[in-house]
């Protein structure tokens, strides 16, 4: 009997998309807001970018990073839970990918250097919810809040809330492959032998499913998978802790501000009383004459 493991677990996600270019290209083309003439043709993997360690452990390395034949950079992340740390990390990693293009350019011609910057796309699949309502696909750009037509292009974020995804809520008819990829991520874990026909009928999804077979992992990979699985459970057990800390700090800061305002008010009242006492004393003195 064939058992399939969870492709959302860090080590397996990286094995699928970090070692198989054709699968990553299919995944990116189906989920990113690229027009037909913009679709990715070929890629080269880049070394995952290290960032400072955090209490959540996994938030210390990019899952998959690559550059395509046109010089565009793509960062792909799989995250078990949304948090402020992860949100900031996305901002840092996307910005770094833009800035590092400048390091490779000739410093002599700054105008040309900026002109040659290539687009950066950050795709984050989150196995949790972080927005109000039922929206699950979020395309973020730098734009005027009052006039969306005014955009600073070059850095795009696509954030997906996997729990909110259902196949009947995907509106782009030409992105049907995206439905299969997201169903693959959401449904594969726990299957034994029989998988839905629509999943195994696609060659890319079929290849990805094959990698998820428990028997396809080496003993070392299986051990790494179990460690990643334990870490994901640990992250889930402390989900929201970081945000709670932020809220507590915010509340304390507001209380400190309120106390400071009250202290200032008391000090002002004290000064007013002192002035009134002086006026009364002066009136008494005048009456005494």
- Whole domain around residue 111: which residue ranges? 10-239
Kindly report which listed range (43-52, 53-62, 129-138, 203-212) carries the lowest average pLDDT score: 53-62
* pTM passes above 0.85: no
Helix (H, G, I), strand (E, B) or coil at 124: strand
Task: Report the C-alpha gap between 45 and 23 in whole angstroms.
Answer: 13
Does residue 165 form part of some domain? yes
Q: Is the pLDDT of residue 23 over 90?
A: yes
Question: Between these two residues, 288 and 148, which has the higher pLDDT value?
Answer: 148
**1 close to 193: Cβ distance less than 8 angstroms:** yes
Task: Report the C-alpha gap between 131 and 138 in whole angstroms.
Answer: 10
Q: Once rounded to an integer, what is the mean pLDDT over residues 117-131?
A: 93
Does residue 170 form part of some domain? yes
The strand pairing partners of 157, in sequence order, are 122, 140
pLDDT in tens, 214-238: 888 899 999 999 888 887 777 666 5
Does residue 248 form part of some domain? no
Task: Report the C-alpha gap between 127 and 15 in whole angstroms.
Answer: 18
Does residue 273 form part of some domain? no
Task: Report the C-alpha gap between 68 and 218 in whole angstroms.
Answer: 30
Written as six digits, the tokens of 173 are 């008819």
Q: Once rounded to an integer, what is the mean pLDDT over residues 257-275?
A: 75
Domain count, the chain: 1
Q: Is the pLDDT of residue 106 over 70?
A: no
To 10 degrees, the CA torsion angle through 64, 188, 161, 29?
50
Using alpha carbons, list the distances in angstroms from residue 258 to 153, 250, 251, 264, 272. Answer: 42, 12, 10, 10, 21
Does residue 147 form part of some domain? yes
Written as six digits, the tokens of 200 are 């195994």
Does residue 99 form part of some domain? yes
Return the pLDDT at 285. 72
Does residue 2 form part of some domain? no
Q: How sure is the predictor about 53, in pLDDT bands with cuts at 50, 70 and 90? A: very low
**161 close to 151: Cβ distance less than 8 angstroms:** no
Using alpha carbons, list the distances in angstroms from residue 218 to 15, 59, 224, 247. Answer: 12, 25, 10, 44
Q: Once rounded to an integer, what is the mean pLDDT over residues 263-280?
A: 77
Does residue 260 form part of some domain? no
Nearest CA among 76, 73, 97 for reference residue 24: 76
**227 close to 220: Cβ distance less than 8 angstroms:** no
Kindly report which listed range (23-32, 119-128, 240-249) carries the lowest average pLDDT score: 240-249
């Amino acid at each position: 009997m064939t058992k399939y493991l969870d492709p959302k677990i860090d080590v397996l996600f990286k094995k699928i998309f970090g070692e198989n270019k054709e699968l990553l290209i299919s995944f990116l083309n189906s989920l990113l807001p690229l027009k037909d003439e913009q679709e990715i043709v070929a890629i080269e993997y880049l070394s995952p970018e290290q960032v400072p360690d955090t209490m959540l452990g996994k938030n210390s390395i990019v899952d998959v990073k690559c550059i395509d034949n046109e010089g565009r950079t793509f960062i792909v992340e799989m995250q078990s839970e949304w948090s402020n740390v992860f949100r900031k990390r996305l901002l840092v990693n996307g910005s770094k990918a833009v800035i590092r293009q400048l390091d490779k350019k000739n410093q002599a011609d700054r105008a040309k250097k900026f002109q040659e910057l290539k687009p950066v796309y950050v795709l984050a699949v989150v196995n949790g919810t972080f927005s109000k309502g039922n929206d699950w696909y979020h395309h973020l750009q730098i734009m005027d809040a009052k006039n969306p037509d005014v955009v600073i292009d070059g850095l795009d974020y696509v954030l997906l809330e996997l729990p909110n995804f259902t196949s009947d809520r995907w509106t782009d008819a030409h992105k049907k492959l995206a439905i299969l990829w997201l169903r693959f991520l959401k449904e594969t874990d726990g299957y034994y032998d029989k998988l839905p026909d629509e999943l195994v009928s696609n060659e890319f999804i079929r290849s990805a499913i094959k990698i998820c077979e428990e028997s396809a992992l080496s003993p070392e990979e299986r051990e790494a998978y179990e460690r990643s699985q334990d870490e994901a459970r640990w992250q889930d057990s402390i989900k929201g802790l970081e945000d709670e800390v932020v809220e507590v700090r915010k509340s304390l800061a507001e209380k400190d501000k309120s106390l400071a305002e009250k202290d200032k008010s008391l000090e002002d009242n004290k000064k007013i009383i002192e002035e009134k006492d002086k006026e009364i004393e002066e009136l008494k003195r005048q009456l005494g004459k």
